[in-house]
Amino acid sequence: MKKGTKYPVEPLSRSEVERLLQACSRGATGTRNRALIGILWRSGLRVSEALALRPCDLETNSLRILHGKGDVARVVGLDTVARALLDLWLAERKALGLSAKAELFCTLRGEPVKTAYVRALMKRLAAAVGIAKRVHPHGLRHTHAFELVNEGVPMNIIGGQLGHAHVATTERYVKHLHPTAVIDVISSRV
């Protein structure tokens, strides 16, 4: 891959993301990694936003992003799938005696997890489960947006979740993901 080259977005299917989750190790690190992947996938966060979260930013059904893109704060929804994965990691954090001041997704010693680690993790997991697509943290953000569009969620709600200031930004963001509607219409022609 050439640096600066733009590649087409390849949203993952639900089964592909589930395979990534299953490929995580069974120990504490795997529990953390599953929770992190779950948050990236089910909340559409940027990797930097997820890694900056603190336990105090977590509510029952939401996450508080203090420093999103452009240093803009927002609150995003947290669904039951992501919450269940996160609860397992929170129990593990407690058992490890990690400080509440440490980032939500920290190492087992309470140190910050680096974005490079997450990028390498995603590639390694994809290779382990045989996913041929480019798998990277930002791709889970696109997967989240793609799923919401396919579920019929209004653009303004998707934009709020992703932290877009304008609906036009969200429309451009999701337009190129996968032309599902176009494919459905054209393939059903007689």
Is 69 marked active-site? yes
Q: Which of 32, 141, 142, 144 is catalytic?
A: 141
Residue with tokens 């590639």: 123
Per the residue annotation, which of 19, 69, 119, 178 is the catalytic one?
69
7 catalytic? Reply is no
Q: Among this protein's residues, is 164 annotated catalytic?
A: yes
**Which residue type sits at 158?**
I
Looking at 32, 42, 93, 173, which residue is catalytic?
A: 173
What are the strands, taking DSSP E only, across the chain? Answer: 62-65, 74-77
DSSP state of 58: B
Which residue in the block uniquely carries the two structure tokens 């007689």? 190
Q: Which candidate in 19, 54, 138, 178 is catalytic?
A: 138
DSSP assignment of 21-48, as one string?
HHHS-SSHHHHHHHHHHHHHHHH---HH
The tokens of 127 are what? 């290779």
Q: Is 138 a catalytic residue?
A: yes
Question: Annotated catalytic residue: which of 46, 83, 93, 144?
Answer: 46
173 counts as catalytic: yes
Give the residue numbers annotated as catalytic, written as ranges. 46, 69, 138, 141, 164, 173
